[in-house]
Amino acid sequence: FTAAGSYSISVTRQEVHVSGSPFNLAVFPNVLHPAASTVFGAGTVSAMADDPASLCLQGRDMFGNPLNASLPLNATTGQSLNSATVAIVGLASFTPVPFALDYTTNMLCSQYTSPIAGSVSLDVKLNSVSIAQMPLQVEVSKRDPPTL
C-alpha cells in the first residue's frame, strides 16, 4: 500500500469469507520525505518589504501522504517535523526563521520579513534538506510612502 488510510480486506475461499474476514487494516504514512513536502500561503507568491509574510508547510512521506505535524517525532526514524526553517537565499544578514505548529490547522507555519524589495528567493528546509519547490521566487513590493 502506498496511500495511508483505513482499508477493509476480504479473504475468501470458494467465494465464502474465511473466519474473521473482512479484516480492517490501518495504513499510516511512511517517514518524512522533504522532497515530497510542500509549502503554501500568501508569502510564497508575494510580500511587502518590512512586513511579515506568512507561509505554511505540509510534511509528506515519499508517496505524498500528509504527516501529522503535531506528532513531535517519527517513531521509526526519530525525525521531527518541527526542525523546519525559511530563509532568504543570498541575503547574509537574514537569519533563518523556524516554523511553529499552528494547532488550528495542524500545520507548521512561519512568517518571514524581507528587508528588501524586488525578486527574492526563499529556501524552506526540513531537517536541513530543501523541500521540492525550492528555491521559491517571491516578489517583494516596496511600501508606498504615506500621503499627507
**pLDDT tens-place string over residues 59-110:** 888 999 988 776 654 444 555 555 788 999 988 888 999 998 887 877 889 9
Question: Of 43-57, 89-103, 108-122, which range is least confident?
Answer: 89-103
Per-residue burial over 106-140, b = 16 or more CB atoms within 10 Å of its CB, e = otherwise: ebbbbbbbbeeeeebebbbbbeeebbeebebebeb
DSSP state of 86: E
**Cβ distance 108 to 118 under 8 Å?**
no
Write down the pLDDT at residue 136.
93
CB-CB neighbours of 36 under 10 Å: 19
pLDDT at 117 over 90: yes
Residue pointed to by grid coordinates 525559511: 86
Grid cell for residue 32: 518524512
Write down the pLDDT at residue 81.
59
The mean predicted confidence, pLDDT, of the chain is 87
